[in-house]
């Protein structure tokens, strides 16, 4: 065989081997493709609860976490039982209106203080660390802002000059003084008590930062078999759950406890604008004898609806007109829910235009309300 022929045969063989190798990489050893439609959100497991033993007429108090669930979950996660109990109580209590999962609070607790055990501390059964946890002085050095202490805040950390974050979840004293909570029912609100500190960080943080809290339900819905067909999970299920969450924020008193909290609801508020009258009528007719849950409102529930902002995702001019009428044009921001509902933005804008709103109100919905909510600079 000539040298040229041998080189040609060798080159052909190399190409064949390379091709077979590529084919194997794409079929035998290739990584499976990623299904982006699969659920990306995993809800927190619901802690097991036991019924408290109370006498007739006695206050029920805080939720009681099942000791067996507490022991087993503490072992499997490595979270100290007193910390896990504090996080679980918050989820069971639902004091935030839309219940916060214990896993979310556990993530915050680990980042801030290793669940109250930072620096070789131990977390006692009463939710207190073996010694108080204080953040560094906020004295303007390095990456820290300069935040002077006040006579009231110095009582939390004994530094008369500079502020410190305090406790296992590292609240600033000024924040704690506004949003303090008694998470374990001992009659005291103490930022060094993890039961108390875990009781309300989400809504408090959103209010303190002046940032809107966007409410959108997860993929998991009650009675999921009812939504399995016809796209009902998207068209009916999630809007209904959005309204349930907003109603709980009202009825649990969360909006009263957080007067400056800004909440932005998906799905045009779900069914809320349509059932505004039913909220008031039921609240009036069912109290006190047929009422279940806290009775803490000082005014009819529908009066709280203007505390919410909503997107325009109705794709129906009559429905959007009702939303604007109930909430006001200053509480609605344009949206298109893309994805998962594949509706072009142009259709959302056309639905808004069909209302024939005055120019100032139409501009508010199109862009000005969003700019105000998110603090966006606007050039005029």
Q: Residue 14 — very low, low, confident or very high, per pLDDT cuts 50/70/90?
A: very low
pLDDT tens, 33-58?
444 344 444 555 677 666 655 344 33
Whole-number pLDDT of residue 175 = 72
Distances, alpha carbon 231 to alpha carbons 188, 240, 245, in Å: 48, 14, 21
In the predicted structure, residue 377 carries a pLDDT above the cut 60:
yes
Q: Residue 102 — very low, low, confident or very high, per pLDDT cuts 50/70/90?
A: confident
Whole-number pLDDT of residue 154 = 84
What is the length of the chain? 380
The one-character DSSP state at 166 is B
Count the neighbouring beta carbons within 10 Å of the beta carbon of residue 324.
23
The one-character DSSP state at 228 is S
pLDDT tens, 184-238?
666 677 777 666 665 556 677 777 777 788 888 766 667 778 878 888 888 888 8
Whole-number pLDDT of residue 4 = 52
User: Based on C-alpha coordinates, what's the Rg of the chain?
Assistant: 27
Whole-number pLDDT of residue 308 = 93
Whole-number pLDDT of residue 279 = 92
Q: Which residues contact 251 (CB under 8 A, 6 or more apart)?
A: 293, 294, 296, 297, 301
Query: Residue 197: CA atoms inside 13 Å, Cβ hemisphere, count?
Result: 30
Distance CA 86, CA 301 (A): 30
Contact 177, 225 (CB under 8 A): no
Single pTM value for the model: 0.54
Residue in 197, 179, 132, 181 with CA at minimum distance from that of residue 158: 132
Domain spanning 213-374, CATH architecture: Alpha-Beta Barrel (3.20)
Q: Domain segments of the chain: what residues?
A: 63-209, 213-374
pLDDT tens, 157-192?
888 889 888 888 777 777 777 666 666 666 677 777
């Amino acid at each position: 065989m000539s040298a040229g022929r041998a080189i040609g045969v060798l080159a052909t063989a190399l190409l064949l081997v390379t091709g077979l190798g590529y084919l194997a990489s794409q079929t035998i050893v290739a990584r499976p493709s990623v299904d982006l439609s699969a659920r990306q959100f995993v809800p927190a497991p619901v802690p097991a609860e036991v019924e408290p033993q109370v006498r007739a007429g006695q206050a029920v108090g805080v939720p009681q976490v099942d000791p067996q669930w507490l022991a087993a979950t503490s072992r499997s996660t490595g979270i100290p039982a007193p910390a896990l109990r504090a996080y679980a109580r918050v989820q069971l209590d639902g004091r935030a209106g839309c219940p916060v999962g214990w896993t979310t609070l556990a993530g915050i607790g680990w980042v801030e203080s290793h669940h109250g055990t930072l620096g070789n501390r131990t977390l006692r059964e009463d939710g207190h660390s073996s010694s108080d946890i204080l953040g560094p002085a906020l004295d303007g050095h390095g990456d820290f802002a300069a935040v002077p202490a006040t006579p009231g805040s110095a009582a939390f950390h004994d530094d008369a000059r500079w502020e410190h974050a305090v406790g296992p979840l590292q609240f600033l004293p000024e924040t704690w003084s506004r949003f303090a909570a008694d998470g374990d029912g001992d009659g005291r609100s103490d930022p060094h008590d993890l039961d108390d500190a875990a009781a309300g960080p989400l809504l408090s943080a959103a209010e303190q930062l002046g940032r809107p809290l966007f409410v959108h339900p997860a993929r998991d819905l009650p009675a999921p078999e009812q939504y399995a067909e016809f796209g009902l999970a998207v068209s009916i299920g999630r809007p209904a759950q959005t309204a349930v969450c907003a109603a709980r924020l009202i009825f649990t008193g969360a909006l009263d406890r957080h007067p400056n909290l800004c909440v932005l609801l998906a799905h045009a508020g779900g069914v809320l604008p349509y059932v505004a009258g039913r909220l008031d009528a039921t609240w009036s007719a069912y109290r006190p004898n047929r009422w279940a849950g806290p009775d803490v409102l000082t005014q009819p529930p529908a009066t709280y609806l203007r505390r919410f902002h909503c997107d325009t995702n109705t794709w129906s001019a009559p429905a959007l007109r009702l939303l604007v009428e109930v909430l006001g044009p200053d509480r609605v921001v344009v949206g298109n829910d893309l994805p998962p509902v594949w509706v072009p933005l142009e259709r959302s804008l056309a639905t808004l235009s069909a209302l024939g709103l005055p120019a100032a109100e139409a501009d508010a919905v199109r862009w000005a309300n969003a700019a105000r909510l998110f603090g966006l600079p606007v050039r005029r």
